[in-house]
Chain A
Amino acid sequence: KNEVEQSPQNLTAQEGEFITINCSYSVGISALHWLQQHPGGGIVSLFMLSSGKKKHGRLIATINIQEKHSSLHITASHPRDSAVYICAVRSNFGNEKLTFGTGTRLTIIP
């Protein structure tokens, strides 16, 4: 069983739909990252969370430490949101290494 699991693996939606991507992890963590990777390969850091909720534009990320679960929401989705979204956790063992989920491939259809 992977330490970080994401669902769904693939998601196709119509433009304007509300999108939710889920991440569950099995280890104690100091922080959770949501990352975005476009087809060119570069990775953008969207959020770093250790508790609660963060919002940036149309993106919202939440985390429930007790349930070891985080969600990434996209409101009013747009074709430019099409990308792979990756959840990554930093363990609370004192090093800075990240453990990555396998990613969710999101496609928004105009």
Chain B
Amino acid sequence: SAVISQKPSRDICQRGTSLTIQCQVDSQVTMMFWYRQQPGQSLTLIATANQGSEATYESGFVIDKFPISRPNLTFSTLTVSNMSPEDSSIYLCSVVASPNNEQFFGPGTRLTVL
């Protein structure tokens, strides 16, 4: 299994500011993802965080709004830039861990934008 921690666990931010969310895994993993869960909705994949190269973004998500870093196989950050109230969501980090390729999720970061 993989144990994932996220910081911060929650935050309340002002419109127009940016927030960086950290994801730390207790083991080296190849596949790492960032998801968003808007209120009352299911999870939506934002991007795949690639180690040593640019993240792969899903349709509707762009690097300028959600820059992602992945400096090594255990750590990634997601920044939510120029926030608006529509960005209020839970942001979750997820990894696929060996040997069974099971997917694990972090505790989430609950973001409220005023």
Contact = CB atoms under 8 A, between A and B. Distances in A.
A102 interface: yes
- For the residues of B in contact with A, the DSSP-based class is strand
B105 A35 contact: yes
B14 to A, nearest CB: 22
Interface residues of A, number: 20
A97 B45 contact: yes
Nearest to A31: B101
- For the residues of A in contact with B, the DSSP-based class is strand
Contacts, number: 47
A93 to B, nearest CB: 14
Interface string A56-97: 000000000000000000000000000000101010000011
A45 B102 contact: yes
Contacts of B107: 40-42
Given A48-B100, A96-B31, A96-B96, A43 B105 contact: yes
A96 B106 contact: no
Interface of A: 31, 33, 35, 40-45, 48, 86, 88, 90, 96-98, 100-103
